[in-house]
Amino acid sequence: MDRTLKDYIYYVSVEKGLSKNTLESYSRDLSGYLSYLQQSGITAMEDSSRGNIVGYLLNLKQSGKATTTLSRNLSSIRSFYNYLFQEKMIVENPASDLESPKIAKKLPRVLSLQEMDLLLDQPDQLHVTGVRDKAMLEVIYATGIRVSELISLDTGDINLEAGFIRCLGKGSRERIIPLGSVAARNVDRYVTEGRPKLVRQKGEDALFVNQHGKRLTRQGFWKILKQYARTAGISKDITPHTMRHSFATHLLENGADLRSVQEMLGHADISTTQIYTQMTRRKLRDVYEKAHPRA
C-alpha cells in the first residue's frame, strides 16, 4: 500500500500540478489512513470498505480533531480512492457516496483602514531592511497575494512602468495583478537603493531577500510582520493572511465588484470570495445600528 501511495502522490504532482504544501498534506493524511487500515489487518486497498473510512474519521473525531481536519482527511481519502478506481486497482469505490462534515465558516480577522495605515508606517526607511520591509508590506496589501506568492516573486515578475505584478498561485495558475502607485513607488526605491546592498551574489533572482542576500522565507516574513504589529500597538492576532483578508474587504467596502476581487485573489470558486461580502454586510449593519435613531 505504501508503494501505491507513492505512485498516487507522483501522479497528482504531475497531472494536477499541486503545490508542495498540498502534496505534503495529502501524503500526511493518507499515511495516517493507511496505518489505520494496516492496524485493522487490511493489507490491500481492494479489501478496504466504506466502514473503514467511517471508522477512521470517527477515530479522528474522538481524538479531538477539528471538523476542518476531518473534512480535509475525507477529501484526501476520496481523491485517493478515485485514483485507485480510475486505474482499475479497485472494483468499487467505497468513498463515492460519503459526504463531508458541515464546516461553520468563520469570518476572517481584518484590520481597519486606520490599523493598516499604522502598520504600513512602522518600517524605519533610514535602514536598508526598513526599505525592504516597507516595500513588502505595501505589495502584499496592494495586491492581496499570499505570503508564499510574495516570497516567490522574482525581479522579472514585477513591472513598475506598467504597474502590475505577475505571480503563480495554487496549481501554478498565473495571475496579473495591478500594483498601485504607492506600492510601486516603494518597490522602486527598494530595487534601486535597498536590494543592491542586500544581494551578495550575481544571478540572485529573488525580489525580496534577507540580510544574507538569499530569498526571504515564510518564517522570515512572519517574524517581520509580528514585530511591526507589536510596535504599532495592534492587539489583534495578525498573520500574513490578515493582510490578504484586509485587502479583499477594503476593496469590497469601497465598491469593487466580487468577480474582480475573485480574480485578484486567485480563487477558483467565487463562493470562497463571497465570505468577504458577509464582512461588508456586517459593517453596514453596525453603522446602521449606531447611526439610525430607530435601529
Catalytic site positions: 146, 170, 241, 244, 267, 276
Q: How far apart are CA 287 and CA 55, in angstroms?
A: 48
Unique residue bearing C-alpha cell 465588484: 257
> CA-CA distance, 127 to 142, in Å (whole number)?
22
In the chain, which ranges are continuous DSSP H helix?
2-15, 20-39, 50-62, 67-86, 113-120, 128-143, 147-151, 181-189, 195-198, 218-232, 240-253, 258-265, 270-273, 275-291
Question: ∠ at Cα 22 (221, 111), nearest 5°?
Answer: 40
| Cβ–Cβ < 8 Å for 231, 119 | no
